[in-house]
Amino acid sequence: MEYNKIPNHFENEKESIKKANEMLIKIFENKNPSIDTIKSIISEFHKYENQNSIEIFNKIERNINESAISVNKIGDIIKNTDDTIDSTNEFLKAWEKITAPINYYGKKLENLMMSKKNVSSIRHNLSIYVKIKDQVNELRNLLNSSDSNIVVVYKQIRYLTFLRVLLLEKVKSVDMIDKLNNLADHLLCVAHFEEEFFEKFWRYFQDTLQLANERPEFLVKLLRLIEEDPDYVRNIKIHFQMYNVCKHLYLFYLRNLKTNLRELIHKEHL
Amino acid sequence: MKESRISNTTDKNDNEFDNLYEILIFKIEEYIDQKFHLGFYDKNDLQDILFETQNFVNDLQIVYNKVVACFPPKYNIFNVYKDKYLKNIYDKLKPFIDEKKLEMTPGNLILIARWLDKFTEGLRKVGIDIKTTDIGCVKL
């Protein structure tokens, strides 16, 4: 295209600049201008050819050149973005590698905390058993002081025996035998007292005829203890099972909470 | 441990305390044996033995009248005492109830005949008919 011809029919330069600007806007507005549009624009330009239009077209050319520079820059930015995405993916993989052992050790830690809890509960039980040794002595005195105390002592010794069975079960799963050295003595103390107690308890039935004659109510009490015994122990078992269910529910809740927290931290980090 | 003789056994589980009834019956039988052993310990004469037997029949009357009321019915406590007492008495008298021996000592036959009347009467008071009562596999 030739821009050297200087039109003579325009008197006002300002008017020609305005028109040229309008056309320029049209060019930028039509990102994909049709052939008709271009033709119409060219014809328009032919109408308003003058010195200013040459400058305008030069300006347009400059703008186009600058746009090309911008396009190149945008290309660079896109490339950089791709690189960044690649590096982010690599980082994510690396993060997964890092978090895998952390999760693994987290589980180990959880187990460790659980066993620590078990050990502390066993220690607690142990401290109870230390008191039980004194309690057994008290029960022995109680048993010797009066026959009528046998009902109280019976209940106590049954409960202690039951606890002893439970504790023995727990101790099976603990490796810290050295920490539980004196436990056996305390358990043995209950076992000895149980033998001692029942030796006396069964001896009452030696004099069943005499008891039925002189103290029938006492004989009935003794028999009732035997009758109630399985139910009594079964009730304790039910309570213990309920306690276990609650404990498992609590642990399940804790585990879920931990998982959720871990996911939350992971998201926050990303 | 002896086979359970409880009439209406409740739900049994493997609980170690469930055999208290068995222990109780075992202990009672043990004490009865001990009582008979002490009662007949120095008695070798038939007359003394028969006299001592009357005391055991009195025991059965106490069981019938007073002990049974204290025990739960399903224990069948009277049968426990009755079987054990009658068996012990029979075992002690068996050597004397021999036709040849009785022929040699007819006085003993008279003693036994008198004793049998009292014994039968005593057992009738506790609802036992001596003619239909089995002791072990032996009918008196």
Structure tokens at A63: 């703008």
Secondary structure tally for chain B: helices H, strands E: 6, 2
Are B31 and A234 inside 8 Å of each other by CB?
no
Neighbouring-strand partners of residue B138: B135
* Least CB–CB distance from A212: residue in B20, B24, B67: B67
Mean pLDDT rounded to a whole number for chain B: 80
Domain boundaries, chain A: 106-269
Q: B18: closest CA among A230, A233, A232?
A: A230
pLDDT confidence of A243, banded at 50, 70, 90?
low
Query: Which residues in chain B have their CB less than 8 angstroms from residue A223's CB?
Result: 70-72
Section A223-232 average pLDDT: 80
Higher pLDDT residue, A172 or B16?
A172
Query: Which residues in chain B have their CB less than 8 angstroms from residue A216's CB?
Result: 66, 69-70
Section A25-34 average pLDDT: 64
Report DSSP letters for B10-49, one per residue.
----S-TTTTHHHHHHHHHHHHHHHHHHHHHTT--SHHHH
CA distance A49 to A38: 16
For A138, other C-beta atoms within 10 Å of its C-beta total 11
What pLDDT was estimated at residue A244? 66
Answer whether A226's CB lies under 8 Å from A179's CB: no
Query: Measured in Å, how far apart are chain A's first and last C-alpha atoms?
Result: 56
Distance from CA of A142 to the nearest CA of B (A): 23
User: pLDDT digit string (tens) for A135-176?
Assistant: 888 888 988 888 888 888 988 888 888 777 777 776 666 655
Express as a percent the part of chain B with pLDDT over 70. 82
What pLDDT was estimated at residue A146? 85
What pLDDT was estimated at residue A229? 80
B72 interfacial to chain A (CB closer than 8 Å)? yes
Query: Which residues in chain A have their CB less than 8 angstroms from residue B66's CB?
Result: 209, 212-213, 216
- Helix H or strand E encompassing B139: strand B138-139
pLDDT of B101 over the 50 cut? yes
Query: Which residues in chain A have their CB less than 8 angstroms from residue B31's CB?
Result: 205-206, 208
Are A230 and B18 inside 8 Å of each other by CB?
yes
Instruction: Return the sign of the alpha-carbon dihedral for residues A170, A173, A174, A177.
Output: positive
Tell me the H-state helices in chain A: 13-29, 35-47, 51-145, 150-172, 183-203, 208-214, 216-269
* Least CB–CB distance from A205: residue in B24, B59, B72: B24
In single-letter form, the type of residue at position A138 comes to E
Section A127-142 average pLDDT: 77
ipTM at complex level: 0.78
Structure tokens at B79: 């049968």
What pLDDT was estimated at residue B37? 92
Query: Which segment, A85-99, A116-130, A244-258, B83-97, is predicted with the most confidence on average?
Result: B83-97
Section B96-123 average pLDDT: 82
CA distance A250 to A106: 19
What pLDDT was estimated at residue B11? 42
Radius of gyration of chain B (CA): 17
What pLDDT was estimated at residue A2? 44
Predicted model pTM: 0.55
- Residue A182 is classified by DSSP as T
Are A220 and B67 inside 8 Å of each other by CB?
no
Are B24 and A233 inside 8 Å of each other by CB?
no
Distance from CA of A251 to the nearest CA of B (A): 30
Section A174-202 average pLDDT: 74
pLDDT confidence of B84, banded at 50, 70, 90?
very high
B9: closest chain A residue by CA: A227
Residues in chain A: 270
In single-letter form, the type of residue at position A37 comes to T
Higher pLDDT residue, A15 or B68?
B68
Higher pLDDT residue, A17 or A58?
A58
